[in-house]
Amino acid sequence: MAEKILVTGGAGYIGSHCVLELAEAGYVPVVIDNFHNAIRGADALPESLRRVQQIVHQPILFQELDITNEAALQELFSKHRFSAVMHFAGLKAVGESVQKPLEYYRVNLTGTIRLLETMKAHGVRNIVFSSSATVYGDPKYLPLDENHPVGGCTNPYGKSKYFIEEMIRDLCKAERDWNAVLLRYFNPIGAHESGMIGEDPQGIPNNLMPYVAQVAVGRREFLSVFGNDYKTDDGTGVRDYIHVVDLAKGHIAALKKLKENCGCKIYNLGTGTGYSVLQMVQAMEKASGREIKYKITGRREGDVASCYANPALAERELGWKAAFGLDKMCEDLWRWQLQNPTGFSKN
């Protein structure tokens, strides 16, 4: 029997790419999502998952469900026998988290507590958690390895990821039969090479590359570059960008790690290479063959100058390494944007 994996928030950008990789690796993903970051498609399925079905030529099990709804979670776990959970569901906009901290703590923390309690009640003790490099705060040294101090987060979104990591670590310490892999993502970009699924921000993009792609496709007039006075080669912020398909494959490697009764393990998922905002703009100009207009504005609160990973531990212990470089990330992003100028929506 193929193993069933519960994927919370599986209709979102990273979740949908992981669902695709799960299906291709022979698992049976069961997806829950509340449509907070997803567009509704045909047959009450999220449009992203409808397209995943087309790519993998098999149906994807889906239920509309909010992880803060305990009764609905209990019912779901009674219906399916899960071998593990991949937990992506949560609010994720840094700027919005500063304006609505309570909402972020309510959804991200309470939702995760309900999920863990339900897992415990039904004897499911394996979880892969979607964490973030934001838990490191302002880097004390670079590249960032997993031993770097955490918790000095610059916004409630990052703090919610840090608190969830702590909850899961404490749980694994208290109950030895739990296994968890906490994956700290750097900056996922790109799209599946089919061009059928990709990042579709609702409203104004919070992340750099969707914004750059929307300028290239003509949806937005210019890019605002927040600050060019950082201590970097060209003065703009430097980040570690990772192809979303590489990231998704990291989750498959994490699932295999759980099988070793690994306890609680933490891994960076990044490439180890940092690129500046202006380097990313140039790479996207190359991929799209179009000029990308930008204006320099003031620094954005909470941004750090440079942030990139030391991904050696994931390679050593998970056998995982990012395979795709910057050109491939930008080419795949551009194909997605060109084929879907307004994202998953039809207008």
HEC profile of 245-289: HHHHHHHHHHHHHHCCCCCEEEEEECCCCEEEHHHHHHHHHHHHC
- 3-class state of residue 61 by DSSP: strand
Pick left, alpha or beta for residue 319 (phi over 0 → left; psi -120 to 50 → alpha; otherwise beta): left
Structure tokens belonging to residue 26: 């022979």
- CA angle 179-167-201, nearest 5°? 95
Active site annotation includes 267: no
- Torsion angle of C-alpha atoms 137, 140, 143, 147, degrees rounded to 10: -80
Distance CA 63, CA 69 (A): 13
Contact between residue 243 and residue 322 where contact means Cβ atoms under 8 Å apart: yes
Task: For strands 274-276 and 238-243, give the pairing.
Answer: antiparallel
What count of Cα atoms within 13 Å lies in the side-chain half-sphere of residue 193? 6
Catalytic residue among 27, 136, 157, 241: 157
Nearest-angstrom CA–CA distance, 331 and 101: 36
Residue 263 amino acid letter:
G
d(CA 50, CA 35): 14
The percent of the chain in helix, strand and coil, each rounded to the nearest 5, is 40, 20, 40
Q: How far apart are CA 164 and CA 110, in angstroms?
A: 10
Residues with catalytic function: 157
